[in-house]
Amino acid sequence: MSRSRWFNVSIPLIAIFLGLLVGGIIMLVSGYNPIEGYIALFSGIFSESFYIGETIRAMTPLILSGLAVAFAYRAGLLNIGVEGQVIVGWLAAVYVGIVVDAPMVIHLPLAILAGAAAGAIWAFVPGLLKAKFHVNEVIVSIMMNYVAYHVVNTIIRAYLLVPGERTETIQPTASLQSEFLESITDYSRIHYGIIVAIMACIIMWFILWKTTLGYELRSVGFNQHASRYAGMNVGRNVIFTMLISGSFAGLAGAMQGLGVFGYMTILTGFTNIGFDGIAVALLGANTSVGIFLSALLFGGLKSGAITMQSQAGVPNELIDIVIALIIFFVASSYIIRWVLLRIQKKEGNQ
């Protein structure tokens, strides 16, 4: 294994270990037993079918939001508007699930594609402004999160509201829910969306590494000036990148609307799926396989937090601290890389 690949594998693992270690110290200082807490956390994730199902359910939208962040990053863009794209994708998928009357073979794919299309359209705005007017996509995409939040709530209140501060329930022909998967996982909220997420991982890998478009997108990400000199249409590739990134994010919202809930409520705050996607992409090194494994970790931590609280008395907030610490150590990868190089150099001199 080459040194660079070894670093790409070892740094996230070290970051996870350090995050768990420092999180355990915080538990100890806070008066909780970290050993009991982590035993409860991991025993719940791997020993009970309900929590296995909940882990898969939690990781499904995280995979898609992580892919959205990673795809944009591969082309040199920072799509911080994934959260807003998740929200509009959720509403679009639910709306199609409510109003369209068609067989499942048509209705379900149509609802999923509606979510992807809504996310793509929402991401088109910062992409267009970046390509045509060189407006910073970070600022625009962040502000689009708030626009999405308020616009979606307004649409639900004005046109789709039913008792319970939510939309109507989607028709069964547009649902990703699975009685079979629920029954084998002790009636968790697992659904068929995990298949969509896995297919999205394959699609991202194929586009980036097996197509001419992917080569151009990665080239633009490395150096826009050299790509333009080589004859590539940088502006067009920026727009394409944001469209594809937004479609992944819209799919994440569709998974919530069609798989977990079957409707959309008036939001009282952000879902945080899009923001968590940044962490998933960062820990997963912006690769399809890495994002899948990273989402599995974060999904497991989120579902296992329930057993930590019930069995060891550790509050859920400490899991958020552990996740934040893992992100911090991944972001500090330069320090970890420097330490590893020093160790290798010392061993080489002996």
pLDDT tens digits, 182-235: 999 999 999 999 999 999 999 999 999 999 999 999 999 999 889 999 899 999
Correct CATH for 61-307 of 3.40.720, 1.10.260, 1.10.3470, 3.40.50: 1.10.3470
pLDDT 10s digits, 90-143: 999 999 999 999 999 999 999 999 999 999 999 999 999 999 999 999 999 999
Helix runs in the chain, H state only: 3-29, 34-47, 49-74, 82-99, 104-133, 137-155, 179-184, 193-210, 212-222, 224-229, 234-255, 273-283, 288-312, 317-331, 333-349
Task: Please give the structure tokens belonging to residue 166.
Answer: 């939510």
| Cβ pair 191, 261 in contact under 8 A | no
* Spatial CA neighbour of 22 closest among 41, 38, 45, 6: 38
Give the model's pLDDT for residue 201: 98
- Give the start-to-end residue ranges of the domains of the chain: 61-307
Phi, psi of 318 (to 5 degrees): -70, -30
Torsion sign, CA atoms 244, 74, 81, 126 = negative
Both tokens of 315, joined, read: 């509050």
Top mean pLDDT of 31-40, 66-75, 274-283, 302-311 is at: 66-75
